[in-house]
Chains A and B, each alone.
Chain A
Amino acid sequence: GAVVSQHPSWVICKSGTSVKIECRSLDFQATTMFWYRQFPKQSLMLMATSNEGSKATYEQGVEKDKFLINHASLTLSTLTVTSAHPEDSSFYICSADVGDFRAFFGQGTRLTVV
């Protein structure tokens, strides 16, 4: 099946700094990728839709200036958490469609802001 890879798998950063998370489709091209956030013992909440070559579409309540998304190529989308605070600590997951409504997920990135 299709493979989606996230990097890093975990990251610890200081409050006020920015951290970038990468999401790559390894063996297929993805014009659309999705970014989710998952709090402990909760479900996945869609944050934004990343569109190759155009602006991301953010879900209601998600700060676009805080969660910067760039989808510069057909195999890479990045999520940058800017000026991170402890409340941004979470598990971030990306996914990509292979074109027949099947979504493949990355392994997730655990962000801890101290």
Chain B
Amino acid sequence: AQRVTQPEKLLSVFKGAPVELKCNYSYSGSPELFWYVQYSRQRLQLLLRHISRESIKGFTADLNKGETSFHLKKPFAQEEDSAMYYCARMIKAAGNKLTFGGGTRVLVKP
């Protein structure tokens, strides 16, 4: 089945420590990959997408087609990074539908 896998349900790190959220996807073609974030009591919002190759709020993610991974990284986590993070894949040929991973809750402790 076509899917997006986030193996960690919870990541707990101290402020200033690096954080890496893993994401693996299954698709033989060229998908569009995204990371979405949901802060407490807020709606889901786009954090970054692979096509932009940008760094948002200190986060970066590199698409590795060989490993079919799109891990999200931040070298120095901040308390305000505590949130739910979802990796998502879009296949344009499938009507731009998003398939979400199970989500990883990040808790940054002071």
Which residues of A line the B interface, CB within 8 A? Answer: 32, 34, 42-46, 49, 57, 93, 95, 97, 101-108
- The answer to whether B49 and A102 touch across the interface, beta carbons within 8 angstroms, is yes
| B98 interface hit (Cβ, 8 Å) | yes
Count class of interface residues, chain B:
20 to 34
Which of the candidate stretches B22-30, B55-63, B68-76, B99-107 sits at the interface with the other chain? B99-107
Tell me the nearest residue of chain B to A106, going by C-beta: B43
Q: A43-B101, A44-B86 are in contact. Are A32 and B96 (CB under 8 A)?
A: yes
Work out how many contacts link A and B, with CB atoms closer than 8 A. 45
| B110 interface hit (Cβ, 8 Å) | no
Q: Distance in Å from the Cβ of A22 to the closest Cβ of chain B? A: 15
- The answer to whether A46 and B99 touch across the interface, beta carbons within 8 angstroms, is yes
- The answer to whether A101 and B100 touch across the interface, beta carbons within 8 angstroms, is no
Give complex CA distance A104, B96 in Å.
13
Q: Give every chain B residue within 8 A of A93 (Cβ-Cβ).
A: 43-44
Q: Distance in Å from the Cβ of B110 to the closest Cβ of chain A? A: 25
Q: Distance in Å from the Cβ of B105 to the closest Cβ of chain A? A: 9
- The answer to whether B43 and A105 touch across the interface, beta carbons within 8 angstroms, is yes
Q: Give every chain B residue within 8 A of A103 (Cβ-Cβ).
A: 34, 46, 98
Q: Distance in Å from the Cβ of B22 to the closest Cβ of chain A? A: 15
Task: Sample 9 A-B pairs with CB under 8 A, ordered by A number.
Answer: A32-B96, A43-B103, A44-B98, A45-B100, A46-B97, A97-B96, A103-B34, A105-B43, A108-B43
